[in-house]
Structure 1
């Protein structure tokens, strides 16, 4: 009821409409240097979100009430221009000339921004106004769900833990670029969005290029490329402050300052943000900060920029999926799960998080007799989470853009990234028996509350580490190990932080040379060096005095057993350095004449890998592997409204760092297991652009051979003792075929009403039988066993293969907007478990297909001024995500052996899942000073 009342009250606040006589304001947007018309320029009424986009002939049209306005005209590669107008009784003609901006040209060249009716790739560009309106406190990838072929989820729901797939390829295979600088992890290709909190406040645009994309660099852009560009010297002077809050009480504060272009060519952009509060998932609080500084200097034919930003943060997580009935038994029954197959822990709600519990650290010093610890009856009972991420990854860059003459531009970017921190987890993975069960609650009256069912029984672990143990053979004994100490307690399980402290620097040098009116040649070098220190460090002994760990093979434990006694701050389990060197050379030749534009792109790179295993007392040599890319494509403008394009490419990609080594050791895998991945891709598309209607349709096929999978988990049962141990492994190479068709369009029904839609239908299938996959024990990283499997015909999971969406956006009066939309996801297969992917005869069985679902969202806002404060703008925003409170599954794994009552039935009973978020609401107030 509280949610509904808030929703109704806020909607009433926004429900205002005024109707007046309007006049048409129209004109043509041109390049001031050559008078060519500009397609896709944004013409907005300043202080509002109302505007238009210039068509194929550069024409734009707006309907405005009588009065005085300021038009703000912008386009990538040009200075933003403001033009004052007065609308009277007759239509008004306003032509606009935009001046090219040196810095924005460089962003277009170095960032490889695709252009309408010119660049032969499928792409979608999201501008700052839409980012501000739709993001609603989410991680950046979540706004991309309204892009065809893109699927993003919050995974476990922890802040910054989102992931995105494009055309069925995970974000490890999606190149993310920030102002032209690659940000994918150098060892595993992942992008940790918690490191980029606050970046939306300084984002100029996000462009998603699907497929191999238009980037000149040798990038892992199999699924696509995300180009994020930030604001700079071209932005006008402004100071802003914004405060947002969601239903959970999470507060987000943003501060911003942009100087615009100052005297003597200087410009400064500053931003800061803070986020603190709880998430919609139990015990997933976050505390994060963000800073951004950019100093620009324009001198002679140069613009030099120094940028520094970072987001130190700590957030609690939910990493492991659970059975559907753990969250909601009614929903499980709908999907065919029988009550007798339910796990012991049920109906905890969609926000259920099993990674925490309560602990009372009440054991103090040993008594004088040394027979027991003194108990503190006043000790406080506190919540403890087993999954916590703390990280800080500041990034610095120095950029120089040299416009040598009207034909040659040279850009150099030197950058540095320093990462420190890691994630907390138990040294030995907790099992379902470590959770408080219904019988624990029933058999121990007063010890637990009913809400604690399903949470970690930390108290039991603490007591085992600190208090007397009843052996059943007489007098209880303290938890000591006489081989190490008669008085100190030995922790059997404890918390460690797995750290990744890296130092990454690089140089990206690019030239762009206009050979003549038809040909342009660009190219350069991409140099990177990366070193990461990896180790596991004890952070909480959970009551004990020490723990035993013999992973450091440099020690002689027979001669001195105390060397195995580890305390808080000591390294355990593993300790190694991962080193990666990268050198790339790239070239791009573009041809543009009349209706035709085409390109040929060649890249080559040399990747070097080395590991220093300190615990194993072994250092590998450097191993260098070459890779290359060939891409070509062409665009042909059939008419003033229509164009067709195609692109094709071949990519020979070196594998990620970990696939070259055996487990945690510094021993290289056989060359047969570290062969390059190969990707063949083809895409064909058609676009239509007019003043009122724009549509894009394209079809693609991508064949990926020798694709390694991310780490898989398994379970090993000792045939003698019957004890179970967790295992992990990597599959060195699989084959997959991804095909599909995508459509997106926007129709301007009225000058104040837009209808936008999208359709995406994919068919993504694994296509290989794999033999002798090596698995390792999780606890000691030793070899466990091998297995083989057949994945031929199994659908690729982790993303919906069918997507349908539509939205309406209405702006009834100046500054007021409403947008409502729905997105339908279907043919979404659970991520397959290779060990459990075949039937008794070894034949491949397709993964469980999750139920389809629809999400309905609402966005509304009002930007206005107060008469007495003419240079101050106020913006109120209100967002409702999943307005109908749909129950749905956002992520799933097929036949998961880690859940309670694990089965191998390829259905809802055997799957582990994350449930998606219910209705989420946010509201914010922004004040901007011009």
Structure 2
């Protein structure tokens, strides 16, 4: 029904188009060798600037373009050539105009810039802005995305590595130049969408961005953004289509492996004579997932309305992507993958422990959900052709969250309850929680007793409710960590060309963000109620006191479907607001003289951080000293606003040696305020006394070459990142520890090249070589006090000169795109990755760290993971219905040779380390992994790993009109 509605709506819009048409035909060649210029773009521009109709030149140089416009200009353009415009006055009534042979003059400066009309979006200008960047336009995204996450498209850019991690929809992780994605600043239309509370990047809730973006640009290193944002590794700018996007629409249908299905419908009016314009898109995506039990469902919507008249350009945009998806989040060892295989010794790459059966029905226990729509209002005033004021207001209000187990049974966590297939044994958990005799691993048959008022009460703590004896009988529950997010702000930017050589941008950036964090109950698995709260009370011998909220016996609807979730359920365990107010100002100067382009930027910002706790207030006000409080009380305990300053400065210069050669360099530094969870350590209002701003310094040099058939960029960078801090968090304890003083040096070389040596053939390649390591030891501080209320002495983590893991330090790729005959293309891309190290938690480098007994599992070096090569391929055919409409058919096959490879690991056992499955903790002896034969491809079988996806495929049909 939804698809029928979309088809009907788009056909009605299509039927409103006029029937009076003018047809242009001609041939496009270069003026020197008189060769046909395949791929040149022929556009109709009614107002001289906006393309309303467009077509590309065929291999024989010919083109046919039909328009309903009766006057305007025909523009012929191609990278590497000077554009040519031809005015026309159509005769109407299906007239045909033959433009003959159009010769274009070669211009070795390749136009690779993204065209934006507002000064509030920062993009790289080729051979002018001294920043490393890679750009992908909408047509490239729609061709290459297949059934990947859109963020995976960046893996073909130099210096970028992406991993699907557990394999869930939207869970892809991005690494740039060896920096984790929390050091990347994602922006939508120039608006920062970085999570200021936890420092995470949430791709899942913008997973349909490739449908609505006109282009995406990754600016590596310092980036060109004027805002004082969070970027130290790069800026990832996703630019939405304007309302006056080219007139036309499309219908898109895709199918793929593991039940993948996608439908998209879109239509744009183009810029109407009245000055109004509109652009609308609807999509739905679903599938079963490549990994077991990683089903997903997502929708997206986009509406852009515009009005452009004279000096004023108004744009209003709304984008949203509600979704839910099952995940694979738990650590799985290599030996466990093998044990769940078919007995051949090969791992079961699709194995997922995070689900099971309850009453013979499949039940996913790790689910991510969310819907965080974004609204943007933009007003650009062009006072003159040299001065523009851009005002942008934006806001978002939405919810996201994920499910997690909580509690335990007789000292065992949920991961100890697995059935013979390695899935969560939910029936056993249910049996014990509800007081039935149950066979418990290591304990035999046990029966749970009522632990409060004749009821079976679950909690986050393993202990007797209200008593001091810890009996490890809290029961196991499924809870959701929920974030209700609200943010709004504005950007005001004035851009003015002071002289013919000097351009100035300056402005202010203000925003307010509130994250409301809590937990709610999903499933008690047979228990009667949940203990809502806990707190360390001075008068409680056990340090724990519980209050029972009997209302929680009426559970909310499952959160697995965003259309059904009930977020009004009573919160449990904690409820607080993280408030961050931000005010920044900046200035940018561009100075062009002779062949030099100079760029300087500087900015300062102040953040005001505040925490509001809705549990501590009632504890302090209503029940002083008792430890009993009601989480649903409306009173709160708020900290004062804590001001933290940040600033940055950048400088760069580009020199165009000739029309083909240019060199450039940039340098700068950033002082970044710590994220909220670093300042407030734990689920309370206590402030981390040791928090610091992170410092980042970078220097980079580069060389570019442009000719008619070759485009080449090479750059070398050196980045110093100091005073980073990583909190260690659980929903029960908050930040129970923190590692500070993390200093690192990332250096490397990057190369990308595109070449068209012969007609119909396009080659591209990238090379990235890095040397990333920690430059000093770090410090781990356990924030859990002992029985005397004192903290343990900090531990020194021996990480100096250790390699930084998480991404290959050597990557190389080569791609081929060849048109065998008219409208039929075939291509492939090969990417090789090597020198990738594991990335274990840094506290494992504490020489006093122990799991079995002292020093038994101290990691001395990060292990080196096996290298791997992945080959993707595609075939496409364009079927032309007429000069305007066409159908594109495309088949994408990713990892065509089904290569099985480890995409990342968070542990670092060596093959000669003791195997924990046979280690004797009393004698401190036992065979090693090697001696036990517990080795896979040279790696100890005890290492956790996530595997890359095997062969996947996707077939799409796209109708454009």
Q: What is the TM-score normalised by the length of structure 2? A: 0.78
Q: How does 1:313-332 map to 2 (within 5 A)?
A: 313-328=323-338
1:463 aligns with 2:431: yes
| Residue in structure 1 matched with residue 862 of structure 2 by the alignment | 847
| Residue in structure 1 matched with residue 23 of structure 2 by the alignment | none
CA distance in structure 1 between the aligned counterparts of 2:222 and 2:372, rounded to whole angstroms:
28
Call closer, same or farther: CA 1:735–1:133 in 2, change over 3 Å: same
Query: Contact between 1:551 and 1:572, CA under 8 Å: does it hold in 2?
Result: no
Cα deviation, residue 79, structure 1: 12
1:178 aligns with 2:178: no
CA distance in structure 2 between the aligned counterparts of 1:669 and 1:766, rounded to whole angstroms:
24
Cα deviation, residue 271, structure 1: 0.4
| Residue in structure 1 matched with residue 770 of structure 2 by the alignment | 762
Aligned partner of residue 64 in structure 1, secondary structure:
coil
Q: How does 1:526-545 map to 2 (within 5 A)?
A: 526-545=509-528
Moved more, 747-756 or 576-585: 747-756
CA distance in structure 2 between the aligned counterparts of 1:499 and 1:865, rounded to whole angstroms:
49
| Residue in structure 2 matched with residue 891 of structure 1 by the alignment | 904
| Residue in structure 2 matched with residue 859 of structure 1 by the alignment | 874
1:732 aligns with 2:732: no
1:499 aligns with 2:482: yes
Call closer, same or farther: CA 1:124–1:766 in 2, change over 3 Å: same
Aligned partner of residue 460 in structure 1, secondary structure:
helix
CA distance in structure 2 between the aligned counterparts of 1:727 and 1:120, rounded to whole angstroms:
40
Q: Deviations over 1:258-290 (max 9, x none)?
A: 110112101101001101121001000011110
CA distance in structure 2 between the aligned counterparts of 1:283 and 1:327, rounded to whole angstroms:
16
CA distance in structure 2 between the aligned counterparts of 1:714 and 1:389, rounded to whole angstroms:
15
Q: Of 5, 23, 30, which residue of structure 2 is paired with 1:26? A: 30
CA distance in structure 1 between the aligned counterparts of 2:339 and 2:31, rounded to whole angstroms:
60
Cα deviation, residue 731, structure 1: 1.7
Call closer, same or farther: CA 1:604–1:435 in 2, change over 3 Å: closer
CA distance in structure 2 between the aligned counterparts of 1:829 and 1:643, rounded to whole angstroms:
35
CA distance in structure 2 between the aligned counterparts of 1:902 and 1:834, rounded to whole angstroms:
25
Cα deviation, residue 845, structure 1: 2.3
| Residue in structure 2 matched with residue 625 of structure 1 by the alignment | 644
Query: Contact between 1:74 and 1:80, CA under 8 Å: does it hold in 2?
Result: no
Cα deviation, residue 236, structure 1: 2.1
| Residue in structure 1 matched with residue 886 of structure 2 by the alignment | 873
CA distance in structure 1 between the aligned counterparts of 2:352 and 2:918, rounded to whole angstroms:
19
Cα deviation, residue 347, structure 1: 6.0
1:812 aligns with 2:820: yes
| Residue in structure 2 matched with residue 428 of structure 1 by the alignment | 407
CA distance in structure 2 between the aligned counterparts of 1:656 and 1:80, rounded to whole angstroms:
51
Q: Deviations over 1:785-832 (max 9, x none)?
A: 964311101111111111011011112333322111100011111113
Aligned partner of residue 940 in structure 2, secondary structure:
coil
| Residue in structure 2 matched with residue 643 of structure 1 by the alignment | 662
CA distance in structure 2 between the aligned counterparts of 1:73 and 1:330, rounded to whole angstroms:
57
Call closer, same or farther: CA 1:838–1:534 in 2, change over 3 Å: closer
Call closer, same or farther: CA 1:747–1:605 in 2, change over 3 Å: same
Moved more, 61-70 or 700-709: 61-70
Call closer, same or farther: CA 1:508–1:271 in 2, change over 3 Å: same
| Residue in structure 2 matched with residue 111 of structure 1 by the alignment | 121
Query: Contact between 2:43 and 2:76, CA under 8 Å: does it hold in 1?
Result: yes
1:522 aligns with 2:535: no
| Residue in structure 1 matched with residue 632 of structure 2 by the alignment | none
Aligned partner of residue 666 in structure 1, secondary structure:
coil
Call closer, same or farther: CA 1:83–1:459 in 2, change over 3 Å: farther
* Larger RCO, structure (CA 8 Å, separation 6 or more): 1
Call closer, same or farther: CA 1:213–1:142 in 2, change over 3 Å: same
CA distance in structure 2 between the aligned counterparts of 1:835 and 1:235, rounded to whole angstroms:
51
Q: Of 668, 677, 685, which residue of structure 1 is paired with 2:702? A: 685
Aligned partner of residue 461 in structure 1, secondary structure:
helix
Cα deviation, residue 390, structure 1: 1.5
Cα deviation, residue 469, structure 1: 3.2
CA distance in structure 2 between the aligned counterparts of 1:264 and 1:636, rounded to whole angstroms:
44
CA distance in structure 1 between the aligned counterparts of 2:153 and 2:545, rounded to whole angstroms:
59
CA distance in structure 2 between the aligned counterparts of 1:584 and 1:421, rounded to whole angstroms:
27
Cα deviation, residue 647, structure 1: 0.1
1:145 aligns with 2:155: yes
Call closer, same or farther: CA 1:678–1:892 in 2, change over 3 Å: same
Aligned partner of residue 659 in structure 1, secondary structure:
helix
Call closer, same or farther: CA 1:555–1:418 in 2, change over 3 Å: farther
Q: How does 1:211-290 map to 2 (within 5 A)?
A: 211-290=221-300
| Residue in structure 2 matched with residue 305 of structure 1 by the alignment | 315
Call closer, same or farther: CA 1:878–1:512 in 2, change over 3 Å: same
Cα deviation, residue 604, structure 1: 0.3
Cα deviation, residue 407, structure 1: 2.0
Call closer, same or farther: CA 1:242–1:300 in 2, change over 3 Å: same
CA distance in structure 2 between the aligned counterparts of 1:261 and 1:832, rounded to whole angstroms:
54
Unaligned runs of 5+ in 2: 1-25, 45-55, 66-74, 89-94, 108-112, 460-473, 556-568, 618-636, 848-854, 920-927, 930-937
Report how many residues are paired.
815
Query: Contact between 2:433 and 2:448, CA under 8 Å: does it hold in 1?
Result: yes
1:882 aligns with 2:890: no
CA distance in structure 2 between the aligned counterparts of 1:44 and 1:542, rounded to whole angstroms:
62
| Residue in structure 2 matched with residue 187 of structure 1 by the alignment | 197
Cα deviation, residue 191, structure 1: 2.1
Moved more, 855-864 or 764-773: 764-773
| Residue in structure 1 matched with residue 805 of structure 2 by the alignment | 797
Cα deviation, residue 859, structure 1: 1.9
Call closer, same or farther: CA 1:130–1:559 in 2, change over 3 Å: closer
Call closer, same or farther: CA 1:761–1:843 in 2, change over 3 Å: same
1:126 aligns with 2:136: yes
CA distance in structure 1 between the aligned counterparts of 2:486 and 2:750, rounded to whole angstroms:
40
CA distance in structure 2 between the aligned counterparts of 1:152 and 1:271, rounded to whole angstroms:
28
CA distance in structure 2 between the aligned counterparts of 1:402 and 1:435, rounded to whole angstroms:
59
Call closer, same or farther: CA 1:784–1:266 in 2, change over 3 Å: farther
1:828 aligns with 2:836: yes
Cα deviation, residue 92, structure 1: 4.2
Cα deviation, residue 711, structure 1: 3.6
CA distance in structure 2 between the aligned counterparts of 1:707 and 1:601, rounded to whole angstroms:
24
Query: Contact between 1:696 and 1:744, CA under 8 Å: does it hold in 2?
Result: yes
Q: Deviations over 1:87-140 (max 9, x none)?
A: 99996415799xxxxx98655632211111100011111112211111112112
Query: Contact between 1:830 and 1:848, CA under 8 Å: does it hold in 2?
Result: yes
Q: Deviations over 1:577-635 (max 9, x none)?
A: 10001111000011012210011111000011111121222421111011110100100
| Residue in structure 2 matched with residue 547 of structure 1 by the alignment | 530
CA distance in structure 1 between the aligned counterparts of 2:699 and 2:577, rounded to whole angstroms:
39
| Residue in structure 2 matched with residue 718 of structure 1 by the alignment | none
